[in-house]
Amino acid sequence: MNFEDYLEYIEEAILMIDNTYDVISFNSAFSKLFPDVKAAAYVIPCLKSCPELQALVLSEEPVSDREITVHAGKYSVSASNICDANGHPAAVSFVLTDVTDFEILAGAAKENIALLEKSNEVLGAQKSDLEEKNLLKERLAAGQESDLILGELHDTLGHALTVLHALSKLALIEGRTNTAAAREYLEETQRLVKISLAELDTLDVLGSGGKGRAVGITAFLYRLKQSMISVSLDVRLTITGVEQDCHGRLFYPVTRMVQEAATNCLRHADATVFTVAVDFSDTHIQLMMEDNGTSLSGRTELKKGNGLTGMEKRVLDYCGEIKMGITQSGGVFLRVTLPVAEDRLL
């Protein structure tokens, strides 16, 4: 294989010129960018469509990773000297690497990082507010549980933001050499950003104990339904009976379980539909949840992680009953009954 044939195997655009700026050789990738370039021709006029490259060719300074624009595309240019048998510079080789996709991916990654930083600011402000509330000596039981919930959510979201930041950094690293992998990292980052922001949107309702109790379970469920639209989770609500003051003590166990189940749908189940049915009676609240995920298809036994174990403990703390399992399609169902009477276990 001669040298010209070898150049055709290289994806990058290659140009070789001598000390008088005459063309020695080039490959078809370079010819596509600069069709006027001919063998043995004086190269400078042939590059008139790209003044930036003209300037680099004429420059006597080293050229390494210099970015230029060619026909609306972005290219990284590097040059290296070719010496003769006596070690004297006889020619210069220019390599143009297409980095257009990397620029696009890098821009998207930077936007994601900006979103994460904004989310971190929101979390920091809410954390400071939570710490101030913890200084108060007289706390109602509902307010104390609200703080626990917020603490759990902050920890969960804090972990998510760490993962998102790492994915964005990986996208930037992979972008120059593997745009397909970088794109996958960015798509996963964007998906997790949307999920985290949707979870943040519900924190207002799960805020202080007084505010949460005033909003009520029904209002929370409709707020959750609206928040999940942005992450393409269809929350289908069925509410029977009338929510009354006596149901207020169950606001936090009910809303926390629904929030946890919705998060599981998004992060683990690959579900698109989340069905929630709530029945209010004078003596009980019955809660039924089910998703259309398929990740557990073929399994007969539901493995309880931290989320499901926490739900089970919460229900038992309120002297309730819970049943959970796998649907025929491979999703998860939950059936919960909580008594209205204040007989919570301590």
pLDDT tens profile 81-105: 888 888 888 899 999 988 877 767 7
The pLDDT score that the predictor gives to residue 346 is 44
Question: Does the pLDDT of residue 207 top 70, yes or no?
Answer: no
Confirm whether 3-98 and 217-346 share one CATH topology.
no
> What is the 3 state secondary structure string of the chain?
CCHHHHHHCCCCEEEEEECCCEEEEECHHHHHHCCCCCCCCEHHHHCCCCHHHHHHHHCCCCCCCEEEEECCEEEEEEEEEEECCCCCEEEEEEEEEECHHHHHHHHHHHHHHHHHHHHHHHHHHHHHHHHHHHCCCCCCHHHHHHHHHHHHHHHHHHHHHHHHHHHHHHHHHHCCCCHHHHHHHHHHHHHHHHHHHHHHHCCCCCCCHHHHHHHCHHHHHHHHHHHHHHHCCEEEEEEECCCCHHHHHHHHHHHHHHHHHHHHHHHHHCCCEEEEEEEECCCEEEEEEEECCCCCCCCCCCCCCHHHHHHHHHHHHCCCEEEEEECCCCCEEEEEEEECCCCCCC
Pick the CATH number of 3-98 from 3.30.450.20, 3.40.1260.10, 3.30.420.40, 3.40.50.80: 3.30.450.20
The pLDDT score that the predictor gives to residue 211 is 44
pLDDT above 70 covers a percentage of the chain that reads 75
pLDDT interval class at 209 (50, 70, 90): very low
The pLDDT score that the predictor gives to residue 134 is 62
Domain 217-346 is found in CATH 2.60.120.10: no
The pLDDT score that the predictor gives to residue 23 is 92
The pLDDT score that the predictor gives to residue 116 is 74
Domain boundaries, the chain: 3-98, 99-215, 217-346
pLDDT tens profile 58-80: 988 888 878 888 887 889 898 88
Averaged pLDDT for residues 40-50: 91
Which of 63 and 344 is assigned the larger pLDDT? 63
Which of 211 and 78 is assigned the larger pLDDT? 78
Tell if the pTM clears 0.85, that is, is over it.
Answer: no
Which of 226 and 281 is assigned the larger pLDDT? 281
pLDDT tens profile 284-302: 999 999 999 888 887 878 8
